[in-house]
Chain A
Amino acid sequence: DIVLTQSPATLSLSPGERATLSCRASQSISSYLAWYQQKPGQPPRLLIYDASNRATGIPARFSGSGSGTDFTLTISSLEPEDFAVYFCQQCTNWPLTFGGGTRVEIK
């Protein structure tokens, strides 16, 4: 199984700051990586697919990069509604797997 390791586990930042979240795969997954945002009591929401493509309706402050084993989700300037948990998912090998998540909290 492909293991996805997200870091850091928690990111404490202020609104307006830049957030950089990492996802590392245990083997190459090319660009088959998705990012999701989840807020308390809500289902996940797709942000990024194929490592760098924003999903429909996702603001431009969210961007994804990387390929192979190392991936990054960047939020250029945090808005109050961006404080949430973020998960990455590899979309190429069965079983599909998710990272453990990064919580972005208000500093």
Chain B
Amino acid sequence: DVRLLESGGGLVQPGGSLRLSCAVSGFVFNNYAMTWVRQAPGKGLEWVSTVTSSGSHTYTADSVKGRLAISRDNSKNMLYLQMNDLRVDDTAIYYCAKGHIGWDFDSWGQGTLVTVSS
């Protein structure tokens, strides 16, 4: 079974940092692009960032560029999101998602909640 398990969320003050992790199993990790998608409380889905299977290319939403950075460690089957200079509007559930045929996502983790508040 494909499994994605996020961790690292929590309460942080504006301007603070967090590092989210996503541990994956059940598929050949280095064959697939991986993505972070977030969802503010009661709101819709927002794509955050994608990294290609090898890690050689990343794509990041303008709203977080320069503050949030995606990376992966294919030797550990791990996906990461380094979050710096956090803002109140970064408050959301952050999901990691596995790439599918194209840039769609066929498996999602349960999410980790990031709350940015003073």
Contacts and interface: CB of A to CB of B under 8 A. Distances in A.
B45 interface: yes
Q: Main SS of chain A's interface residues?
A: loop
Contacts, number: 61
Nearest to B45: A98
Interface in A27-72: 32, 34, 36, 42-46, 49-50, 55-56
B95 A43 contact: yes
Given A44-B95, A99-B44, A101-B44, 20 more contacts: A32-B103, A43-B108, A44-B105, A46-B104, A46-B105, A46-B106, A49-B101, A49-B104, A50-B102, A56-B106, A89-B45, A89-B104, A91-B102, A91-B104, A94-B59, A96-B47, A97-B47, A98-B46, A100-B44, A101-B45
